[in-house]
Amino acid sequence: MLAVASVLAGLVLGWALFGRGGFPLDGSAEAGFARDMQTHHGQAVEMSLLIDDRSSDPVIRILAKDIATSQQHQAGQMFAWLRVWGLSPTGSQPPMAWMGSEHHGRGTASSATSASGDKVPMPGMASPADLARLKAATGVEAEKIYLTLMIAHHKGGVEMADAVLARSDEDVVVTLARSMKVSQTAEITAMQQLLAARS
């Protein structure tokens, strides 16, 4: 009897936390992370495609293609999670609500742009002014802007990965977030070295 009661209690708890089938609910950290990180990744892909047209440096272009390819793939994984979980791609909560008070909508792009007071919706995101500067630049100047923006972008991505790791034990989410943290931390180091060589 006690065993049956424990199973029933576990089912009720699972329904409360993750909904039908043990899947995350619409307002969960897992769902918020999946939605917001797709948007975050989308901007990284956009910036990487921009620099590919503006730089002739093979190292920069290979790095940008690697970032674009990996983040497109990861975005596809997160889109698929939401489908499997039976959740809308957009959800009912504003961006970054799942991180609560940890997120303050701050941009971490270059000081020249942040001094203008531009607000960004997620950690590390480039502002419209940042993207305009990248689009207008070519050669080494474009590379420096790209590296500066992408370092900040990756730091924001690591912050988001850390936040979901602190809130989730969903296997697929934890596995991908850990992988993102490792790869983006390594890329930050590489990009800092590339930027230093251009300063």
What confidence tens digit (pLDDT) does each residue in 108-167 have?
333 323 323 467 889 999 999 999 999 999 999 999 999 999 999 999 999 999 999 999
Residue 100 DSSP symbol: G
**What amino acid occupies position 183?**
S
Q: 130-146 burial, b if ≥16 CB within 10 A, otherwise e?
A: bbebbeebeeeebbbbb
User: Which stretches of 53-165 are DSSP H helices?
Assistant: 58-84, 111-114, 128-136, 139-165
pLDDT of residue 54: 97
Q: Considering only 3-12, 38-47, 53-62, 181-190, which range has the smallest mean pLDDT? A: 3-12
Give the C-alpha distances (Å, rounded to integers) separating 119 from 123, 130, 184.
10, 11, 23
Range 160-189 average pLDDT = 98
All structural domains of the chain with their residue ranges: 26-197
Place of tokens 């990965």: 161
pLDDT of residue 119: 79
Q: List pLDDT tens digits, range 60-111.
A: 999 999 999 999 999 999 999 999 999 999 988 899 999 986 654 444 333 3
Residue 6 neighbours by CB under 8 Å, 6+ apart: none
pLDDT of residue 106: 42
Give the C-alpha distances (Å, rounded to integers) separating 194 from 124, 131, 132, 166, 169.
19, 20, 22, 32, 36
pLDDT of residue 110: 36
* CATH numeric code, 26-197: 1.20.1260.10
Helix (H) or strand (E) holding 75: helix 58-84
> Nearest to residue 163, comparing CAs of 91, 97, 76, 85?
97
Range 171-198 average pLDDT = 98
C-alpha dihedral sign at 103, 105, 108, 111: negative
Predicted TM-score (pTM) of this structure: 0.83
Q: Considering only 14-18, 49-53, 120-124, 193-197, which range has the smallest mean pLDDT? A: 14-18
Is 115 exposed, middle or buried, given 0-12, 13-18 or 19+ CB atoms closer than 10 A? exposed
Neighbours of 18 (CB within 10 A): 16
Is 2 exposed, middle or buried, given 0-12, 13-18 or 19+ CB atoms closer than 10 A? exposed
Neighbours of 88 (CB within 10 A): 12
